[in-house]
Chain A
Amino acid sequence: MDSKFNITVRNCDLYYSEFQALKDVNMDIDEHEVTAFIGPSGCGKSTFIKTLNRMNDLIEDCRITGEIIIGEQDIYEKGTDVTMLRKNVGMVFQKPNPFPMTIYDNIAFAPRTFGIKKKAELDEVVERSLRQAGLWDEVRDRLRKNAMGLSGGQQQRLCIARALAAEPKILLMDEPTSALDPISTGKIEELMIELKKEYTIIIVTHNMQQATRISDKTAFFLLGEVIEYATTQELFSNPKDKRTESYITGRFG
């Protein structure tokens, strides 16, 4: 199980029926890095992040070609174990989406899916995940309360903890702070820097400051293409492409 979990994407095209949403995307993402995807709305960055755990399977008429290899496995190969893929590649959504059940049951959801039934084991996973997400001290007394009672920021950290409880190797975050206030956003950014020691993190963000604060590498998407992919520092200080430059200097977006 201790295989590597680096991501290799080759010639990836994606279509929603007739519309081509991704054009020839190529990318290599290493383990234990934070990679940020930036670009204007509708540029394909969210579409691309969803290809990495095959969430686009849920969308009708979605067709994908090319290779996406995680570790050694082409995840679009026939017979791929999608549940294992999604266990290994966790995801946090734009809007916090805790299940309307107790905090405990939210966190225990994934372990239960994968067959853990013993209470002691579940207790341990719940505590560990909540601690990792920096939420343990705030909710330890109300694990049996409904998760909908938490604040927006807490809900989002709960969703992160819920994803971590599946023990993923890669964490996909689709604009995880766009629905949150600045203080909650700060907490989640700190958390991401903490988490990168153990996980590979890929984050879609609208916020360029956020990308510079937390990511090691950044990819700039435009109209379904990766225009530029480099270390964050280089991309922001010395963009190679004219379009990248005009985007990061705020000339469109």
Chain B
Amino acid sequence: MMIKAYRFIKARDYLMRAVFMLCAAFSILALACICVFLFVSGIPFIGRIGFSNFFGTTWHVDSQAYGILSMIVTSLYLTALATFIGVTTGLLTAICLFRFCPKRLIPSIRQMVNLLAGIPSVIYGLFGLIIIVPFLRDYVSPNSIGFGLLAASLVVSIMILPTIVSVSLDALNAVPRSYYEGSLALGATSEQSVFKVVVPAARSGILAAVVLAIGRAIGETMAVIMVIGNSPVMPHGLFQSVRTMTANIALGAKELGGDAATALVSTGVVLFIFTLLLNISFNLLRGGEKREKKRTQKTDT
């Protein structure tokens, strides 16, 4: 029997281990590069043009006014509204799918929801542009403007709906059946058991769905850019052309140069910091919950 030298095998093991390690390290490197490139070109700019200019309310490139406050506010409004609509509808839908709908419908609905989760955001944007905006303009809007926060929020909430339904349904299904049955055994109705026992027990999974929704809503670009109007002004109503941070970046990308282009990068830095804060707070929340679970388990035994 021919036997490969052990040293060769060992060396190959070490080599491949190093290769895999480099692959893994690539993610760290990529993240570090993103941070460095963004911060290095974005933050000094804020210092140079002045904090009050950058966080001011006027964006007027020709007169060197790069205030993005109105966009930050718009982004936050949009996120709040879209998340509220999306999460409410999505969570209620998931609860219905969990227990209050004919069993034989569930697999096909689930499959459909999963498929819809993969639809590109531009398609939602286009849907908003050719259906929702004209509809709002003709039937809802008091000032005959369809573009604006409401159109964008509706589009984004439809877009994030499949994800929310999917994630919160998983969370509900992950609750041990014995909780539900235990509640029934105490004389509660099926509805009471679901709303008072199962839903609270699934709250960490539902929280994950909410965070996912917030993340997608604040970061969404294409679907928003097509329906929100894109005027860099403070939002005062639901039917008014406004601009989010994401839209600001995307719109300027091809046209602006010099300082204005850097201002876009700085806008990106602000957006990036928002998403980082979101992730960090979610992880802290989840970490805290995990630790708590561990502790209760320990006291159990």
Chain A residues at the B interface, C-beta cutoff of 8 Å? 81, 83-84, 111, 114-116, 167
Contact = CB atoms under 8 A, between A and B. Distances in A.
A83 B2 contact: no
Contacts of B139: none
Interface of B: 1-4, 6, 9
B6 A115 contact: no
A226 to B, nearest CB: 31
A114 B6 CA distance: 11
Contact of A116 (B2, B6, B9): B2
A84 B6 contact: yes
A115 B2 contact: yes
17 contacts: A81-B6, A83-B6, A83-B9, A84-B3, A84-B6, A111-B1, A114-B1, A114-B2, A114-B3, A114-B4, A115-B1, A115-B2, A115-B3, A115-B4, A116-B1, A116-B2, A167-B1
Contacts, number: 17
Nearest to B4: A115
A22 to B, nearest CB: 26
A116 B4 CA distance: 10
Q: Which of B2, B3, B4 has the most CB of A within 10 A?
A: B3
Q: Which of B1, B2, B6 has the most CB of A within 10 A?
A: B1
A215 to B, nearest CB: 30
Contacts of B9: 83
Q: Main secondary structure on chain A at its contact with chain B?
A: loop
Given A111-B1, A114-B2, A115-B1, 8 more contacts: A81-B6, A83-B6, A83-B9, A84-B6, A114-B4, A115-B3, A116-B1, A116-B2
A16 to B, nearest CB: 19
Nearest to A117: B2
In the complex, the 6 A-B pairs of residues with the closest C-beta atoms, listed nearest first: A81-B6, A115-B2, A114-B1, A114-B3, A115-B4, A83-B9
Contacts of B6: 81, 83-84
A116 B9 CA distance: 16
Contacts of A81: 6
A212 to B, nearest CB: 37
Contacts of B4: 114-115
A81 B6 CA distance: 6
Contacts of B1: 111, 114-116, 167
A121 to B, nearest CB: 9
Nearest to A82: B6
A12 B4 CA distance: 31
Contacts of A84: 3, 6
A27 B151 CA distance: 80
A158 to B, nearest CB: 21
A225 to B, nearest CB: 27
Contacts of A167: 1
A165 to B, nearest CB: 11
A128 to B, nearest CB: 13
Nearest to A115: B2
A214 B178 CA distance: 47
Contacts of B2: 114-116
A111 B2 CA distance: 9
A11 B2 CA distance: 36
